Amino acid sequence: MGLLSKKDAKLITDPLADNNPITIQVLGICSALAITAELKASIVMAVSVLFVLGIGNVVISLMRNIIPSKIRIIVQLVVVAALVIIVDQVLKAYAYELSKTLSVFVGLIITNCIIMGRFEAFALGNGPWRSFLDGIGNAAGYGLILIIVGFFRELLGSGTLLGFKVLGDPIEKTGLYAIGYENNGFMLLSPMALIVVGIIIWVQRSRNESLIED
């Protein structure tokens, strides 16, 4: 049996693939696209959402029986906003440069549909431990897509990964650049994020035909 029962483990593994929040549920796309030009920013964003969604789901789940349903949206917004302020202050204190790159998109975690969506759909009807697992699972599914998009955009756009020159030096013409390879600067522009996500959806749905919409 171990730490997780089969049902609980499914809560984590499902959102990673067949119920992915970005490609299947269409939630949380706003922030997913804007900050994925670098792998580092994508990872930081994924970790921030993991923190906010994990803790937020537990808090909402603990309060689910005392929140009047008429004002639940405002209550949820206040909980998320408080958690996001913590993330923002920590980033400003320990990674100031990065928080400048992410600019307003840290604040936009508040209105990230993933978070409100999981609160509404799961945390309001389930206990804290299951809500925690659901939060972690969905944030991981979100982070996975973010990291894939960030990986390709940084690799093809500037030839680096996390700032390391993995393809050689474009100015001194070493590595791949020696045989005439060029960086595709277009990958760094924002429209390419949309197209990369479109391609991920394409690949995923070709592999699993039950996901195809009509």
Partner 1 sequence: MEHIELFFKSIFIDNMVFATFLGMCSYLAVSKKVSTAVGLGAAVIFVLAITVPLNWLLDQYLLQPGALSWLGEEYVDYDLSFLSFIMFIATIATMVQLVEIVVEKFSPSLYNSLGIFLPLIAVNCAILGGSLFMQSREIPTLSLSAVYGVGSGIGWFLAILAIAAIREKIRYSNVPPALRGLGITFIITGLMAIGFMSFGGMLTGGDEKAPKENKTAEVKLTVDKKEVLANNIKLNN
Contact predicate 59/135, CB 8 Å: no
107 is a site residue for partner 1 (CB under 8 A):
yes
The residue from 37, 53, 116, 124 that contacts partner 1 (CB under 8 A) is 116
* The only residue of 9, 16, 34, 156 in contact with partner 1, by rule CB under 8 A: 34
Residue 161's beta-bridge partner residues? 164
* 55 near partner 1, rule: CB under 8 A: no
* Interface with partner 1, residue 189, by CB under 8 A: yes
Q: Identify which of 95, 26, 86, 31 has the alpha carbon closest to the alpha carbon of residue 55.
A: 86
Query: How is 125-189 classified by DSSP, letter by letter?
Result: GS-HHHHHHHHHHHHHHHHHHHHHHHHHHHHHHHS-BTTB-TT--TTTT-GGGGGT----GGGGS
Closest CA to 114 of 36, 56, 70, 63: 56
Nearer CB in complex with partner 1: 8/88: 88
Nearest to partner 1 of 62, 74 (CB atom): 74
Q: Minimum distance from CB of 55 to partner 1 (Å)?
A: 16
If one asks whether residue 110 binds partner 1 (CB under 8 A), the answer comes out as yes
**CA-CA distance, 184 to 159, in Å (whole number)?**
9
Question: Is residue 139 a contact residue for partner 1 (CB under 8 A)?
Answer: no
And the tokens for 76? 């949820």
Question: What residue ranges bind partner 1 (CB under 8 A)?
Answer: 23, 26-31, 33-34, 73-74, 77-78, 81-82, 84-85, 88-89, 103-104, 107-108, 110-113, 116, 189-195, 197-198, 201-202, 205-206, 209, 212-214
